Amino acid sequence: MRVLFISSDINQIGGIEKYNRIFLSSLKKQGSDVFLIERKQGGFFSKLFFAIKVLFFAVFRSPDFIVCGHLHFSPLCRFFKIFFGVNFSVNVYGIETIKINELYKKSLQSADIVIYLFEATAENVLEQVRGIKDRFFKLPNSIDENKFKISEKSKSLLLRYGLTDSKVILTIGRMSVLDGDNKGYKRVIRAMPAILKEIPNAKYFLVGGGDDVPNVKQLICELHLEGSVILGDSPKDDELVNYYNLADVFVLPSKNEGFPAIVLLEALACGIRVVGGNQGGSEITSFSNILGIIVPPDDIGAISNAITRVLKHDVPSNLLNKNMVREQIVKMYGMDVYRDQIKKLLNLIKIKTGK
């Protein structure tokens, strides 16, 4: 089967980009003939070049199916279905579905398969777009359990960032102005004064970089937290597991990007205790006090209290057992589970295309 996979630049840092890297690789491993076209960063001409490449492939290579890696590209896929009869799927994640405009609604209604990661996202889409429930297919985030493992804290990283003898609160994620305050890292910064009263050697290690860094630095200065909030650039892929294992607690009180985000799963695979934001959806039940602490994402007091409790080990005993936490998360989101879902998806695509 010849599959055209269109997405943003999968080599960029971000949860969506990582999801599509794994998705693409898994399709290839299952024997599909997959051709990738990426929307590279840039302005009008970058968009135009992307559209021309997709058009050229659709006309001259005649794909059997298009995998649309983001809702923003779905109108292009709808065009090819109308004029060339090419079936397609669309991935939906979280924040981009909060308010879906009419153009994207029509594209979703034209899609043969709507691939979702999170139950809350699916519910949100179904509230806005009628008549597509039978096209939904769940393909959640996954973790490579052979890569993300429990290990000792890296002495070189502790020294590099001045974290020796500190209780490390960690967030990994791109800091984007466009993302607003969705991920919640600014709320964690605002929670730090209360945390420091209870845990004087706590430090918030915020890793990822991005165009929101100047605003983050300003907030740090306003709250006089220069020695307690440490910023780090995006780690290289082969360093990532060492960054996770620095943490005494991983925090992501996000509101709209979908739960559980890939970074929460990777942290849990390293046995790290996590604090996440309550975004609704059935997945929350599996996590609350079982795999992590779930808080109202806008409640700074709740965030500081949860982090303090974890750092003091004032949490259910199961959360203190790193091996048990890792075992549970791998069972739910490991690569074997993901590969099974990919096989089911390919079978569904074959049914849709008649191939």
Cβ atoms of residues 27 and 67 within 8 Å? yes
Average confidence (pLDDT) over 98-104? 95
Whole-angstrom CA distances from 242 to 245, 258, 335 are 5, 25, 20
pLDDT mean over 137-158: 95
Cα 311 to Cα 31, 169, 201, distances in angstroms: 46, 9, 11
Predicted pLDDT of residue 198 = 97
Confidence class of residue 59 from pLDDT cuts 50, 70 and 90?
confident
The span from the CA of 139 to the CA of 281, in Å, is 15
Q: In the chain, what percentage of residues exceed pLDDT 90?
A: 72
The alpha carbon torsion through 94, 99, 102, 105 (nearest 10 deg) reads 30
DSSP 199-260: -TTEEEEEE---TTHHHHHHHHHHTT-TTTEEEEPPPPGGGHHHHHTT-SEEEE--SSS-SS
Q: State the pLDDT at residue 107.
A: 97
Residue 61 banded pLDDT, cuts 50, 70, 90: confident
Domains contained in the chain, CATH given:
2-142+334-353 (3.40.50.2000), 155-332 (3.40.50.2000)
Percent of the chain with pLDDT over 70: 99
The Cβ of residue 110 has, within 10 Å, a number of other Cβ atoms equal to 18
Token pair of 221, please?
């200065």
pLDDT at position 231, please?
97
Q: β-strand 87-92 against 33-39: which pairing, if any?
A: unpaired
pLDDT band at 241 (very low <50, low <70, confident <90, very high): very high
- Give the whole-angstrom CA distance, residue 202 versus residue 16: 30
Task: Write out pLDDT tens, residues 311-353.
Answer: 999 999 988 999 999 999 999 999 999 999 999 999 999 988 8
At 281 the pLDDT is 66
What was the pLDDT predicted at 204? 98
Residue 314 burial by Cβ neighbours in a 10 Å radius (0-12, 13-18, 19+): exposed
Helix extents (H) in the chain: 15-29, 44-60, 74-84, 102-110, 119-128, 155-161, 185-198, 213-222, 240-244, 262-269, 283-287, 300-311, 322-333, 335-353
The pLDDT-based confidence of 282 (bands split at 50, 70, 90) is low
Structure tokens at 246: 């620095």
- Range 191-218 average pLDDT: 96
CA-CA distance, 192 to 341, in Å (whole number)? 40
Instruction: Tell me the two tokens of residue 80.
Output: 């090819």
First to last CA, the chain: 7
